[in-house]
């Protein structure tokens, strides 16, 4: 279920720091709802007001770089982010997306623009932006990760499989 | 084709079949750590699991080091919850004043060569100094490990860094990493592991090797791995670690990149204010006045750092107007420094020695509030604007030797230019 990304694209740039742009690390006392309303404001003014549940973030290099609080992914999920496709991810951020059931994939994002309709099948390993004639093969996520995403995250997966014998 | 250290450690922990960089594995973890900074999230995730028993708790350290001592009720209540949870589940507890997670983990004998260790802190890469793969995780990961003893990992590509030649006296592992940050940039090796090898690494004592591995976090490394040698094995035995399982890379291992750095000509380095990768040799800094000098943190708060600082400041006095704080990395380091008379020498010189912990790395305890326009020289690992609570002050980073020499003169100073600044060779 969570191994497919499909929705309207919002493009963000390189080296987006989610601690800075999507957490309360530097906003002590602010709750997730407040941070969500201001997510990515510094790098993409008006981002939160344009974003609709199910929309997809497409980003450049090192998305989620730095110490990468898990809270950022909790906020992205609360915003209804349908998935993230990026050239590359900060490693801890990538862990946090999978662990929280948010589909994310490293891929070639060239030629994709704001407002495009994108579709990525993480199990089959293909990316399509039909209106632009883009159809690419991307590295499929391995079964162990697909299982976690399909369950909706690692906690949900382990509730069903407390002995964790991956496929 | 052969394998890197990271590939071998992940293979050994994921059923024994060979693995390659890029593979995703579910691997058994040998020991885990969570500190008070990330415990609230981790405890929420553990609660979400909805289980009574956490079989891996006995192999998990709960460390109260960041909010040490707690500066507010919220932090005090986090500590209260961590103590109660550790007691209930049989986790290993390190309380306020015991020390920084990355120091008490090896000192407590919780890791050995060949291990796979996770911690909820970016600087968990420190364990690579002992030929253990240490890497940082978040709360959901910690919950999964405490329940299953396992976690999923992407096997990282590795960069091999050969540190050739020999460091001059007064030049430290900190200076090597700062120079690499200047070259590769912050997060310049994001997602990859580093293998450090070469004559300069062999010559380092364990304390300096820990600095080398620790500070790779600022390069974005997933792990920083050294091979084990007689010094490693002896240190681990002295700290009652489990039997070592040393792991070497194969001669024909596949690396993403191999670089050589000649350390012989390296001068002490500093990162200038606000940017960890704005790095320059200390000899190029002329007449930069400082107001605060800080020695401590998981990067440079160990016994050799304190020995080096005391060698510079013994019988001397810090420059007029300079305030200096020394925070030993752990209670063991504190006691050893006390026995050697180092704390007395530093206190007589004008420094304040604080209880072991993360100390003044970041403005948490409120022990160090800088005034507008004031300049800090610190042995810590990060210097983001405002990290010490005032975005109108500057934080510069250097080795403990550079910090102590700078405290003595009141301006950023090459330790090789002051008496005692080449302590290791004396």
Q: Which of residues 4-23 of B touch A (CB under 8 A)?
A: 23
Question: φ and ψ at A62, to 5 degrees?
Answer: 55, 40
What separation in angstroms does the CA of A62 have from each of A92, B109, B186? 11, 35, 12
pLDDT tens digits along A86-143:
999 999 999 999 999 999 999 999 999 999 999 999 989 999 999 999 999 999 899 9
The answer to whether residue A167 scores a pLDDT higher than 70 is no
More confident residue, B388 or B111: B111
Question: B33 pairs with which residues across the strands?
Answer: B61, B119
Q: B-chain residues within 8 Å CB-CB of A68?
A: 138
pTM of structure: 0.96
Confidence at A1, pLDDT banded by 50, 70, 90 = low
- The architecture (CATH level 2) of A4-160 comes to Alpha-Beta Barrel (3.20)
Q: What whole-number distance in Å separates Cα of residue A86 and Cα of residue B335?
A: 49
Do residues B194 and B229 touch, judged by C-beta distance below 8 A? no
Q: A-chain residues within 8 Å CB-CB of B148?
A: 158, 162-164
* DSSP structural state of residue B329: S
Q: Where are the domains of chain A?
A: 4-160
Ranking A41-45, B202-206, B385-389 by mean pLDDT, the lowest is B385-389
Q: Which of residues 113-152 of A touch B (CB under 8 A)?
A: 141-142, 144-145, 148
Ranking A144-148, B222-226, B280-284 by mean pLDDT, the lowest is A144-148
The answer to whether residue B344 scores a pLDDT higher than 90 is yes
Confidence at B91, pLDDT banded by 50, 70, 90 = very high
Alpha-carbon dihedral B176, B182, B184, B189, rounded to 10 degrees: 60
pLDDT confidence of residue A27: 79
* DSSP structural state of residue B251: T
The distance of B141 to chain A (nearest Cα, Å) reads: 8
Do residues B206 and B167 touch, judged by C-beta distance below 8 A? no
Angle between helices B206-214 and B173-184 (to 10 degrees): 20
Q: Where are the domains of chain B?
A: 8-261, 270-425
pLDDT confidence of residue B392: 94
Q: Is B387 on the interface with A (CB under 8 A)?
A: no
Best A17, A23, A92 member to test B by mutation, with max B CBs in 10 Å, is A92
Reported ipTM: 0.93
The answer to whether residue A12 scores a pLDDT higher than 80 is yes
Identify the helix (H) or strand (E) that includes residue B406. Answer: helix B400-409
Q: What whole-number distance in Å separates Cα of residue B350 and Cα of residue B360?
A: 17
Q: What whole-number distance in Å separates Cα of residue B293 and Cα of residue B321?
A: 11
The residue-averaged pLDDT of B105-131 equals 98
Token pair recorded at residue B40 = 């609230």
B126 contacts: CB under 8 Å, gap ≥ 6: B102, B105, B106, B134, B210, B213, B214, B298
pLDDT confidence of residue A26: 77
How many helices (H) and strands (E) chain B has is answered by: 14, 18
Q: Is A161 on the interface with B (CB under 8 A)?
A: no
The distance of B307 to chain A (nearest Cα, Å) reads: 31
Q: Does domain B8-261 have CATH number 3.40.50.150?
A: no
Q: Is A16 on the interface with B (CB under 8 A)?
A: no
CB–CB of B140 and A145 under 8 A? no
CB–CB of B187 and A65 under 8 A? yes
Q: What whole-number distance in Å separates Cα of residue B402 and Cα of residue B378?
A: 9
Which chain A residue lies closest to B25 (C-alpha atoms)? Answer: A144
Q: Is A71 on the interface with B (CB under 8 A)?
A: yes
- In A12-149, which ranges are E strands? 56-59, 83-86, 104-106, 117-121, 126-129, 134-137
Q: What whole-number distance in Å separates Cα of residue A128 and Cα of residue A21?
A: 28
The answer to whether residue B74 scores a pLDDT higher than 90 is yes
Q: What whole-number distance in Å separates Cα of residue B387 and Cα of residue B213?
A: 22
pLDDT confidence of residue B298: 97
Say whether A107 sits in a helix, a strand or coil: coil
CB–CB of B140 and A92 under 8 A? no
A154 closest CB neighbour out of B50, B140, B154: B140
How many helices (H) and strands (E) chain A has is answered by: 7, 7
Which class in CATH covers the domain with range B270-425?
A: alpha beta
pLDDT tens digits along B241-281:
999 999 999 999 999 999 999 999 999 999 999 999 999 99
Helix intervals (H) in B314-361 = 331-339, 342-348
pLDDT tens digits along A54-90:
999 999 999 998 778 899 999 999 999 999 999 999 9
pLDDT tens digits along B210-229:
999 999 999 999 999 999 99
Token pair recorded at residue B279 = 């790095």
B140 closest CB neighbour out of A100, A144, A166: A100
pLDDT confidence of residue B408: 98
Best A24, A29, A70, A165 member to test B by mutation, with max B CBs in 10 Å, is A70
CB–CB of B26 and A69 under 8 A? no
The distance of A138 to chain B (nearest Cα, Å) reads: 14
Which chain A residue lies closest to B119 (C-alpha atoms)? Answer: A92
pLDDT confidence of residue B1: 87
Q: Is A158 on the interface with B (CB under 8 A)?
A: yes
């Amino acid at each position: 279920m969570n191994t497919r990304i499909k929705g309207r694209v919002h493009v963000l740039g390189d080296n987006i720091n989610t601690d800075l742009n999507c957490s309360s690390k530097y906003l002590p006392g602010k709750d997730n709802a407040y941070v969500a309303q201001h997510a990515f404001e510094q790098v993409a003014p008006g981002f939160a007001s344009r974003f609709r549940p199910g929309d997809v973030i497409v980003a450049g290099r090192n998305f989620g770089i730095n110490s990468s609080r898990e809270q950022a992914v909790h906020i992205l999920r609360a915003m209804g982010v349908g998935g993230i496709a990026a050239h590359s991810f900060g490693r801890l951020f990538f862990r946090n997306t999978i662990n929280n059931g948010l589909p994310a994939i490293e891929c070639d994002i060239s030629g994709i623009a704001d407002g495009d309709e994108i579709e990525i099948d993480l199990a089959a390993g293909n990316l399509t932006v039909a209106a632009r004639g883009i159809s690419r093969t991307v590295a499929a996520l391995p079964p162990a990760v697909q299982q976690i995403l399909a369950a909706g995250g690692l906690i949900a997966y382990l509730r069903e499989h407390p002995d964790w014998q991956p496929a | 084709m052969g394998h890197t250290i990271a590939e071998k450690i992940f293979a050994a922990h994921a059923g024994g079949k060979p693995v390659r960089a890029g593979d995703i594995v579910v691997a058994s973890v040998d020991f885990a750590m969570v500190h008070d900074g990330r415990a609230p999230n981790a405890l929420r995730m553990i609660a979400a699991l909805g289980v009574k028993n956490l079989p891996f708790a006995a192999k998990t350290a709960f460390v109260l080091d960041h909010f040490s001592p707690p500066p507010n009720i919220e932090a005090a209540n986090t500590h209260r919850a961590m103590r109660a949870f550790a007691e209930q589940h049989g986790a290993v507890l390190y309380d306020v004043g015991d020390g920084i997670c990355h120091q008490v983990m090896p000192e407590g004998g919780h890791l050995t060569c060949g291990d796979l260790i996770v911690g909820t802190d970016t600087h968990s890469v420190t364990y690579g100094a002992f030929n253990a793969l240490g890497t940082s995780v978040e709360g959901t990961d910690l919950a999964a490990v405490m329940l299953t003893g396992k976690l999923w990992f992407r096997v990282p590509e590795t960069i091999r860094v050969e540190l050739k030649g020999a460091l001059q006296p007064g030049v430290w592992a900190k200076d090597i990493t700062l120079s690499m940050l200047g070259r590769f940039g912050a997060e310049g090796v994001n997602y990859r592991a580093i293998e450090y090898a070469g004559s300069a690494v062999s010559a380092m004592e364990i304390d300096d090797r820990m600095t080398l591995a620790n500070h790779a976090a600022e390069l974005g490394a997933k792990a920083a791995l050294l091979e084990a040698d007689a010094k490693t094995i002896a240190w681990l035995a002295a700290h009652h670690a489990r039997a070592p399982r040393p792991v070497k890379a194969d001669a024909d291992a596949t690396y993403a990149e191999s670089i050589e750095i000649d350390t012989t000509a390296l001068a002490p380095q500093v990162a200038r204010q606000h940017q960890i990768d704005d790095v320059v040799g200390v000899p190029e800094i002329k007449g930069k006045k400082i107001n605060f000098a800080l020695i401590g943190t998981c990067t440079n708060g160990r016994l050799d750092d304190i020995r080096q600082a005391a060698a510079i400041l013994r019988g001397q006095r810090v420059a007029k107007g300079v305030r200096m704080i020394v925070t030993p990395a752990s209670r063991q380091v504190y006691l050893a420094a006390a026995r050697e008379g180092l704390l007395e020498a530093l206190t007589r010189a004008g420094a304040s020695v604080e209880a072991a912990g993360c100390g003044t790395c970041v403005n948490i305890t409120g022990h160090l509030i800088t005034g507008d326009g004031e300049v800090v020289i610190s042995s810590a690992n990060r210097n983001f604007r405002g990290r010490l609570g005032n975005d109108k002050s500057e934080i510069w980073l250097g080795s403990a030797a550079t910090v102590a020499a700078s405290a003595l003169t009141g301006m950023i100073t090459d330790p090789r230019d002051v008496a005692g600044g080449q302590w290791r060779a004396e």
